[in-house]
Amino acid sequence: MKRILFYLLIALPLFTTAQQKINIIPQPVSLQQNEGDFIIDNNTSLQYNPADKSLQDAANFFSSYINHISGIELPSNIHKSKFVEFRLSKTTEIGDEGYLLNVSPSSIIITANTRAGIIYGMQSVFQTLPAIRTNAVLQVPCMQVKDYPRFKWRGMHLDVCRHFFSPDFVKEYIDLLASYKMNVFHWHLTDDQGWRIEIKKYPKLTSVGAWRVDETSKIWGDRPQAVAGEPETYGGYYTQQQIKDIIQYAKERNVTIVPEIEMPGHSAAAIAAYPFLSCSQKPQLPMTGGNYKDVSSVLCVGNDSVFTFMENVLSEVINLFPSEYIHIGGDEVDKTSWKNCPKCQALKTKLGLKDEEELQSYFIKRIEKFIVSKHRKMIGWDEILEGGLAPEATVMSWRGESGGIAAAKMHHDVVMTPGTPLYFDHYQANPASEPLAIGGFNTLKMVYDYNPIPQQLQGGYEKYILGAQANLWTEYITTPEYVEYMVLPRMLALAEAVWTPLSEKNWDSFNERLQTQFKDFGQRSINYCKGNFRADIKPSIQNGKLFASLFSEIYQSEIYYTTNGETPTIQSEKYTAPVPIDSTLTLKAVIAVDGEIMSKMPAQQSFVMDKAVGKNVVYTNPVSPYYMADGPNSLTDGVRGTVNVGKYWHGFAGKDLIATIDLGQEENIHTISIGCLQHYRDWIMMPQWVKFEISDDGKNFTEVQTINNDIPQNEMTAIKEFTANFSARNARYIRVTAKALDGLPKGHPGEGQPAWIFADEIVVN
Ligand code: ACM
Ligand code: ZN
């Protein structure tokens, strides 16, 4: 009896003083937690130099947050027993946006060189406090922090054209950015399917270009084109007054808004409003989605009044937005209309330009000159490199990093935003159990591991990388809740990738800190993805033997797997080390948390052992550099593709796949097969037929069989094994020809355009 009481007596005080662990995202440069807490209560005042307007604004930002979560009103500059102080001072080691944060039981002191640093110090404090109004004590753990960002461009993009989001939601989005010290909001304001910014000189841009026939219930690529007379009820735009208000809101949070006005492509909405902007000058209706036939989406370069128009638009944009950078798009310009336009061709001849790429470069350079004349900098997507980069342009690299690398080597500034892993419209977890997305697969861990400085730029070119940004295109993202879901938690991983020094980054620590943010999201009813519950199965060769490594992104989880085709349970083998692969098999793996299986479907990966594994493949037509799978011999690596397009498939664009394999010596064989993928929406179609041939000398081939395709062309997703079975024969060389379609089938959004062939493995036995 007595002993229990004794334990209780010593245990209780330990519990009440147990210190809350500090879970700040992004992880600060240096953080030391000390004993004790600072309690924010009615005996707390704010201290700062009231003559400094920027500090007064910052203090208001702090007190309104505290008031929001507690109801406490913090007085300024009067004596109380405890205080929170904001100090501007010259501290060289923390730069423009850094801060020092010192929390003791009697004071919180935030020191910085600028108001931005003060705000970031506050954000770190807020992350230790409750996220919503409660009666909880406002307890800030004592700590000493020195912190500053690794990159100066820490961006998030939002496409408000494909679907429109209200001014209130845009503010919520900016708030989310600011909470994690992201400082650029790239506002994609104009595109084919909507013009969203009021331009006083050209009111039809919004009265016509901001509205379309409502086809929201249909998938983007399936939406029928508008027909004259149908009501145009979907849309919206931001008035200049609303924009000013949002810019001010962002400024208070140290977020710069970079507006994007797309040109010369992605301009169908502007052309619907003012048809003279296109080469054909034909009237057209606003687009409803991703189907476009006989719609102009490109501005005419050969018409001077188009430049006058765009410059007038840009003048209003520049007057509104204080941003140093103005984004002019520049991506995905279909140059067909320029080829057929007398005005564009006359200009090309007059300027002595070689091709339409140079015409595009002329357009961009002329716009840059205008922007520079207004004392701003132009930024555009990496296509602006084509035909010659404008002299002072900053490049946003989205088609991988290669455009960014090329631009940096030309001494131009770059923002990295490669599709993998920074397109947040891509899936973040198993597509089988996720809301429909545009495709791709960019998990939280992939984003966390992203380093904006590619290997190729180390040793002198690093300084041209301003930072990185994630993009959120909204073709498939129709609601604010879905925006939250796609951005959270991946934005937090990006925040750490662009803020925290490499030496302080640690995935396990991030994942642990993230759990606190998940609780906050839950309390604030913010939608977020609870994680990628698909185990990652990675083949690897060690000492000439094939292994499968398994990985889970889920905090404190376990992996169970089978190799006999059965669905794993928690009674199956628990993963502890790479699994050796010695025979043809399918490995299936699931993730469990606290003994409960979390994966709706097991991850699975098939492996084959056959006579072709490890053998060299020679292609008559080259493999697309975008779809190299795991290297040049992907068709003979023993690893099968999955319905996930990005993984283990070799892609060929519009050409036949002709692969010749040298088995190294004569072998007795009786079956050859090749696996192909159909992914209709991604323009990947089955070949028309596959021909299998064998040879003794690699020169004279004998056909053993041709297998015709039997997968219907409108089947959305299919994997087919084209297999030749024949009476056993000796051969050293195998040639497989997969015949490409003559073009995408009738009714396909890309009808008549080249189709892709995707193949994963050639199996020989
Ligand atoms: C882009 O994704 N077209 C920049
Ligand atoms: Zn033209």
Cα separation, 172 vs 443, in Å, equals 23
Closest protein CA for atom 2 of ligand 1: 398
Cα separation, 212 vs 222, in Å, equals 15
- How high is the pLDDT of residue 13? 36
- Ligand having the closest approach to the CA of 419: 1
Using a cut of 0.85, tell me whether the model's pTM lies above it: yes
Ligand 1 atom nearest to CA at 329: 4
Q: State which of 398, 416, 476 you would mutate to test the pocket of ligand 1, scoring each by most atoms of that ligand within 8 A of its C-beta.
A: 398
Angle between helix 480-487 and helix 167-179 axes, rounded to 10 deg: 20
Cα of 336 vs centre of ligand 2, distance in Å, is: 10
Over the stretch 516-542, which tens digit does the pLDDT of each residue have? 999 999 999 999 999 999 999 988 877
Q: What's the CATH code, domain 536-607?
A: 2.60.40
Q: Where are the domains of the chain?
A: 30-147, 153-500, 536-607, 617-764
Cα of 625 vs centre of ligand 1, distance in Å, is: 18
Out of 3.30.230.10, 2.60.120.1190, 3.30.930.10, 3.40.630.30, the CATH code matching 617-764 is 2.60.120.1190
DSSP helix, strand, coil percent of the chain (3-state; round to 5): 30, 30, 45
Residues of the chain with pLDDT > 90: what percent? Answer: 86
Neighbours of 229 (CB within 10 A): 7
Over the stretch 609-658, which tens digit does the pLDDT of each residue have? 999 988 889 999 998 887 877 777 788 888 888 766 566 788 888 899 99
- How high is the pLDDT of residue 600? 80
CB of 165 closer than 6 A to ligand 1?
A: no
- How high is the pLDDT of residue 26? 98
Q: What is the mean pLDDT of the chain?
A: 94
- Ligand having the closest approach to the CA of 426: 1
Q: State which of 261, 263, 334, 381 you would mutate to test the pocket of ligand 1, scoring each by most atoms of that ligand within 8 A of its C-beta.
A: 381
- How high is the pLDDT of residue 643? 67
CATH architecture of 30-147: 2-Layer Sandwich (3.30)
- How high is the pLDDT of residue 541? 74
CATH architecture of 153-500: Alpha-Beta Barrel (3.20)
Over the stretch 576-594, which tens digit does the pLDDT of each residue have? 999 999 999 999 999 999 9
Q: Which residue has the higher pLDDT, 20 or 196?
A: 196
Q: Which residue has the tokens 């753990």?
A: 141
- How high is the pLDDT of residue 454? 95
Q: What value, to the nearest 5°, has the Cα angle with vertex 335 and ends 330 and 338? A: 115
Q: Which residue has the tokens 């795991």?
A: 630
Of residues 221, 86, 267, 155, the one with CA closest to residue 495: 155
Check pLDDT > 50 for residue 366. Answer: yes
Closest protein CA for atom 3 of ligand 1: 331
CB of 332 closer than 6 A to ligand 1?
A: yes
For residues 289, 290, 296, 299, the Cα torsion angle rounded to the nearest 10 degrees is 90
Q: Which residues participate in catalysis according to the annotation? A: 191, 266, 332
CB of 358 closer than 6 A to ligand 1?
A: no
- Ligand having the closest approach to the CA of 469: 1
- How high is the pLDDT of residue 632? 73
Cα separation, 495 vs 154, in Å, equals 7
- How high is the pLDDT of residue 530? 95
Ligand 1 atom nearest to CA at 381: 4
CB of 423 closer than 6 A to ligand 1?
A: no
What pLDDT band is residue 749 in, cutting at 50, 70 and 90? confident
Q: What is the mean pLDDT of residues 313-339?
A: 97
Q: Which residue has the tokens 């003979």?
A: 636
